[in-house]
Amino acid sequence: MSTVLSQFPILMNILLFLILAAVVWISGSRLAYLSNVAAGRLGISTSLMGLLFLSTTTSLPEIATTVSAVIDARPRLALNNLYGGIALQTAVLAAADIFARGAISNYPRKANHALEATLLVSLLSLSIIVVVIGEPIVIWNVGLGSFFVLVFYCSAIFLLRKYDDNNDWIPVDLQEVKSNLQSQSQPDQVNNATTRRVVWMNIAYASVIFIAGVSLVQMSVVISEQSGIGMDIMGVVFLAGATSLPELSTTLAAVRLGAYTLAISNIFGSNLIMVGLVFPADFLFRQGAILSFADKTVQLAAALGILVTSAYLIGLLIRRKPRVGRMGLDSVFVLVVYIGSLGLYWILR
């Protein structure tokens, strides 16, 4: 597909890119609504639905991109896409804060999201440690460091799943939020549908996101090559932006629905998956431990991921925080950091 697209003029490829982006946007918006409905039908908390199903679905383009990059022996592209997408997706949550009724980090009534953020910071810190000290032990071209990342990721998901029903941390005097599901177009078609049909509709829209998202990734690579953008910048900004479109559409839709816990878990869950993909990428990459190919751009991306995630962790713990316009101060900080990071990436190019 990339060979065919490279023969088209760059303007035509940009037009096709925008069409596919619209498809992903519409499908992601529908998926956020359907996931919220499915959570209620199946008796699953919205935070768990966002962490396990929605985040996995919206991460399918990242998974496909990572697999493609390592098979093509492009380890730096794979790593820049994975770690570069973390700050970008957190900035998506900050942008969605504009549509929330009050700072979005004020609404979670349990410690799940603070735990998600803490585990993500720990996982990113572990990644930086492995990159700095190198991979001293490599077995079958798989580094011991990436294996530790996998073990930590699996342990984090197990802990989050087990903690989901735990109510030992209950903040008081919180804002109430009502879901705005009934304002959506064609609500009766979903509300009157059977649970089985709702589940299949979730699967159908997830499939559309996967197909259109993978096509977006391939088009972004072609457009980047045609425009002469550097490989590192392409991976950490442009390619990460293309693969993050599903997260953007689903998060904005969830916030507009009033499903704030779904939106937050979607982003933090997607970011956890991004780091967790390091081991599969290392396993498929046959030319050595993949983290040994990480450069300063990857280290910067991981550090920025820690910074923006920590900002929301503070926001989740400090319930009453200053607002700037319609956004919480933590969201404003995240957006400023991400915009500033673009200049840092350009310096390191």
For the stretch 104-148, pLDDT in tens is 888 777 778 889 999 999 999 999 999 998 888 888 888 999 999
Nearest to 348 by CA among 312, 279, 295, 285: 295
Q: What's the token pair of residue 120?
A: 């993500």
For the stretch 151-163, pLDDT in tens is 999 999 888 887 7
CA distance 104 to 268: 14
For the stretch 324-337, pLDDT in tens is 877 889 999 999 99
pLDDT, mean of residues 89-109: 85
Nearest to 221 by CA among 204, 233, 212, 203: 233
CA distance 266 to 48: 9
**CB-CB contact of 51 with 116 (8 Å):** yes
Architecture of domain 2-348: Up-down Bundle (1.20)
**Half-sphere exposure of 94 toward its Cβ, with a 13 Å CA cutoff?**
25
pLDDT, mean of residues 220-236: 64
Nearest to 274 by CA among 74, 56, 73, 70: 56
CA distance 202 to 210: 12
Region of poorest pLDDT, from 18-22, 158-162, 242-246: 242-246
Nearest to 263 by CA among 279, 246, 280, 285: 246
Domains of the chain by residue range:
2-348
CA distance 314 to 316: 5
Q: Quick one: pLDDT band at residue 168, thresholds 50, 70, 90?
A: low
Q: Tokens 């559309």 label which residue?
A: 208
Q: 179, exposed or middle or buried, with CB in 10 Å at 0-12, 13-18, 19+? A: middle
Amino acid letter, 174: L
Residue 183 pLDDT exceeds 50:
no
Q: How far is CA 289 from CA 76, 128, 249, 280, 308, in A?
A: 12, 14, 34, 11, 28
Q: What's the token pair of residue 195?
A: 């649970």
For the stretch 269-283, pLDDT in tens is 889 998 999 999 999
pLDDT, mean of residues 206-219: 79
Q: Quick one: pLDDT band at residue 62, thresholds 50, 70, 90?
A: confident
What's the confidence (pLDDT) of residue 120? 95
**CB-CB contact of 184 with 33 (8 Å):** yes
Q: What is the pTM of this model?
A: 0.80
